[in-house]
Amino acid sequence: MHLKMISSHRIFNGRQIKYRHHSSVLNCDMTFSLYLPESSSNHSKTALIWWLSGLTCTDDNFSQKGAFQKYASEKNLAFVIPDTSPRGATADSEDWDLGQGAGFYLNATQDPWKENFQMYDYLTKELPELIYPLIPNFSGKESIMGHSMGGHGSLIVGLKNPERFSAISAFAPILNPTQVPWGKKAFTAYLGQDPSKWNEWDATSLIQAPSAYRPPIMITQGTADEFYKTQLKENTFLTAAQKTNAEVIYQKEKGYDHSYFTIATFIEKHIAFHYQQLSQ
């Protein structure tokens, strides 16, 4: 698959690079961003962290506002930042929380979305084949993290692929999308009216599924998050995790909201969590 480099910037002794390519899975052109630490060009083995962004975002939001590059450079970690939905000549909605910018990291089964909205297969099958060869001295170790809708994405992708990801973390994730307005709206559109078909894309359901191993999970939630009470409730997820003895660190941070200011404040802690798991 042909890759076109759109931009490359030196930052904290590494490179923040943006690429464009045509996705056969999504049937449209896509962009993604990749941070490579300087030490990835020598003989040090470099692990990879996937970042999944939230509603309305592109790959630029985290690369420009996430404040992660300094810590990634220090730990010799590469970061890949996919877009949040198919782009181009695809189905869309006038609503900001559905359609382009709101792919929910699942495989749609309903018209008109199923033609392009196959984000899960894009992330787990197509994009890795592009990313791995771009990382010099790639260690083969990966973990995944995200924010809001991307926090939901990191949890479902990580829990569905526990053998692949060493750790999962999330900022203000949608933990139980089948039970909150954002999730119900998106799942009805993408997956149909039958709620029983939604559970395979819900972290609360997935963490209860029989499994020999689940990656350790870290979650940060601000108490001043404007979406917390209606979209981001944690109790059902944490109860389910406790019943299955899943390793979950859930941290509420007083006064922090849903913005990238919160992410920038606590990203170092999340990277340290991932580094510890990736180093084992």
Outline where DSSP puts E strands in 164-207: 165-171
Other C-beta atoms lying within 10 Å of the C-beta of residue 197: 12
Catalytic site residue 225?
yes
Token digits of residue 93:
């909605």
Q: At which residue do the structure tokens 């749609």 appear?
A: 108
Indicate which residue of 39, 63, 143, 258 is catalytic: 258
CA atoms within 13 A on the CB side of 61: 19
Q: At which residue do the structure tokens 């390519």 appear?
A: 21
- Burial track 227-260 (b if 16+ CB lie within 10 A, e otherwise): bbeebbbbeebbebbeeeebebeeeebeebbbbb
DSSP string, 75-121: HTEEEEEE-SS--SSS---SSTTSBTTB-TTSB--STTGGGT-BHHH
**Pairing status of strand 165-171 against strand 28-37:** unpaired
Indicate which residue of 148, 154, 169, 205 is catalytic: 148
Catalytic site residue 148?
yes
Other C-beta atoms lying within 10 Å of the C-beta of residue 71: 18
Indicate which residue of 39, 225, 270, 274 is catalytic: 225
**Pairing status of strand 77-82 against strand 138-147:** unpaired
| Contact between 53 and 153 (Cβ < 8 Å) | no
> What residues are labeled active site?
148, 225, 258
